[in-house]
Amino acid sequence: MIAFVLGLSACDKYEKQQKRIKGTWELVSYRFKSQLGLSYFPEASGTMFFENCDDTICAYSMSLEYSSPQITGTRVEAGKYSLEEEGGQLYLTPIVNGIDHARISNGMTLLTRTDLQFQYTDDLGRSHHFVFEK
């Protein structure tokens, strides 16, 4: 009985996360941290969209631009996403030309109805921290 109640509680938390994340998010802040530990706050804009998840395919898309004297770039991608019920992980799997690429693990530090924050470390050891609002 206790295992059933705990399992039900985990499902409820996962469903709440799914409800909260779906929709369009506007980028309000981006912080880039180099391998040397230097932080930069480029001018940044863009959106991220999460589709309603039907437990089999959860789609996302993003289009971000950032610019500063130290770092300039864009991140445009679409693919599949998944949420880890515990531990606050947001997994993004970009799909390019119909082929799944390596899954990116993002540490989600905040997810509310109006705020989303996550960060990831790229292959070069640089940290990217994104803050979005709905």
Give the CATH number of the domain where residue 127 resides: 2.40.128.280
Q: What is the pLDDT along the chain (134 residues), one digit of tens a residue?
A: 454 444 445 567 778 888 899 999 999 999 999 999 999 999 999 999 999 777 767 999 999 999 999 889 999 999 999 988 666 789 999 999 899 999 999 999 999 999 999 999 999 999 999 999 99
For the chain, the domain total comes to: 1
The answer to whether the beta carbons of residues 94 and 101 sit under 8 Å apart is yes
Residue 114 dihedral angles phi and psi, to the nearest 5°: -125, -10
pTM of the prediction? 0.84
Q: What is the 3-state secondary structure (H, E, C) of 61-126?
A: EEEEEEECCCCEEEEEEEEEEEECCCCCEEEEEEEECCEECCCEEEEEEEECCCEEEEEEECCCCC
Q: Domain span at residue 109?
A: 2-133
Distance CA 111, CA 58 (A): 17
Q: Are 49 and 62 in contact (CB under 8 A)?
A: yes
